[in-house]
Amino acid sequence: MNLYELTIEEASTQLASGKITSLDLTNSVLERIENIDGKIKAYLKVLKDESTEQAKMSDERRASGKTLGPLDGIPICLKDLICLKGCETTASSNILKGFVPPYDSTVANKLKKAGAVIIGKTNCDAFAHGSSTENSDFFVTKNPWDLEKIPGGSSGGSAAATSADECIGAIGTDTGGSIRQPASLCGVVGLKPTYGRVSRYGVVAMASSLDVVGPIVKSVKDSAMVLEAIAGKDELDSTTLDVEVPKYSELIKKVTKIRVGIPKEYFAEGTDKDVLEEINKSIEILKDAGAEIVDISLPSTDYAISLYYIIQPAEVSSNLAKYDGIRFGYSTLRDDSNQTLEDVYFNSRGTGFGSEAKRRIMLGSYVLSAGYYDAYYRKAMKLRTLVIKDFEKAFEKVDVILGPVSPTPAFKIGEKTDDPVQMYLSDIFTAPINPAGVPAMSLPVGFVKRDGKDLPVGLQLIAPMLGEQIIFDTAYTIEQALNLNKKPQL
């Protein structure tokens, strides 16, 4: 096995035993990126010199008995929404091109304190607006399983890099499925933690009441290890929860007598039959393990995607107002100093924002405007309460909810770009989770054949607030039974 193929758990074990060094591991990943990223285009920036230096420092710590923890020396990449001191952070948008943050996000800071090697910044839909990574203002990332297919979005670069072994682990963000959907389509593990479990300080905001930061990795244990490192209360983010972070990875065990909810709305007509077939195999695995399978209903599912695409653009329109061509990032003022202030605003935003960002700004401004606020935004907030209550009622009957992540496997690049509504419907099973604030995971459970290629299928596990441990345990039970070891051929 090549070093770049290792999971975080495997790499950490080999580093601890002295079998490999962080420099060996980092060089292996850097060489892998150099060899294949021309095909995948997962990375916006590879930090070759910086990561090599970090790896050497990790090896020195280990040699002197001062290892910082299980992530020490592990190469991890960051979605380009996550600020890294001294490294250009663009959110894959032209309007932030050239912005170099003078500080670390809390997530980057925690990874550094854990000794992780930050290997680069990955591509995404600009400002995380999308489900395919086709909305990046720079280039489209490809799915490692079929280079003609999308990797999902918006964390498509992080998912593709993990799937193609261009990192040992990655960090993404999830506002309506942006960790889980690309993880599903690329055949890796993606966790959306409980809202407030991980700090958003220093993360470029999309929709602040929905955004969550989480890991995209190669195994369930890896997911637990990363969450342990990045979770916790942060004085710089008032939405973070003041709750102790368990040692998830040490507590993971196979489940037996748990109640697994199967929402009828997630298995209705419209979901690819081959996708459901793979998911049903995992339901049987849990049955065999002793789980009770309970049919449940989440009645607000039909409205959840609609309320999501009202609340999210409303918050987007507010968050993107700060990009005015004056303070940071792209500005037409540099090219023409004979502009009025209004000209600078209009010209910079008109040129700097892509079509999807403009679409969401307009939608958000519309639903917040006088005369429409009550009809749209206020009604959406009431529906959000119904979504939360739906999940609360469901979790009175079951311990965890199981369903598909995406209604289809990865689709062709360009297939849905002319129809934004069809693109938005890619999030139909993931978007309801974010307004509810509960944790959810995408776990690879099989493959379907499309155009002669194997495409991954992900299963979604949803738990009550702060229920990450039951997700890890349930996912681990399925993962161990399936023992999937297929890799994309690149």
Secondary structure letter of residue 164 according to DSSP: T
Residue type, 95: I
Q: What are phi and psi of 393, to 5 degrees?
A: -65, -40
178 is catalytic: yes
Secondary structure letter of residue 198 according to DSSP: B
Residue 212 contacts residue 175 (beta carbons within 8 Å): yes
And the tokens for 489?
Answer: 């051929």
* Distance from C-alpha of 417 to C-alpha of 135, rounded to nearest angstrom: 9
And the tokens for 453?
Answer: 């290629």
Say which of 12, 22, 58, 79 is annotated catalytic: 79
Secondary structure letter of residue 234 according to DSSP: B
Among 226, 248, 221, CA closest to 9: 221
Among 158, 154, 67, CA closest to 115: 67
Secondary structure letter of residue 231 according to DSSP: B
Residue 126 contacts residue 44 (beta carbons within 8 Å): no
**Exposed, middle or buried by CB within 10 Å (0-12, 13-18, 19+), for 269?**
exposed
* Distance from C-alpha of 165 to C-alpha of 314, rounded to nearest angstrom: 37
Buried-exposed string 403-437: b where 16+ CB fall within 10 A, e elsewhere? bbbbbbbbbebebbbeebeebbbbbbbbbbbbbbb
* Distance from C-alpha of 239 to C-alpha of 203, rounded to nearest angstrom: 13
79 is catalytic: yes
Residue 162 contacts residue 216 (beta carbons within 8 Å): yes
Strands (E), 111-194: 117-122, 169-174, 189-192
The answer, yes or no, to whether the previous bond of 51 is cis (omega within 30 of 0) is: no
Q: In terms of DSSP bridges, do strands 212-217 and 189-192 run parallel, antiparallel, or are they unpaired?
A: antiparallel
And the tokens for 182?
Answer: 């690309």
**Three-state secondary structure readout of 428-470:** CCCCCHHHHCCCEEEEEEEEEEECCEEEEEEEEEECCCCCHHH
Number of H helices, E strands in the chain: 16, 11
Say which of 178, 331, 426, 442 is annotated catalytic: 178
Say which of 93, 154, 158, 442 is annotated catalytic: 154
* Distance from C-alpha of 185 to C-alpha of 207, rounded to nearest angstrom: 23
406 is catalytic: no
And the tokens for 425?
Answer: 């419907």
Which residues are known to be catalytic? 79, 154, 178
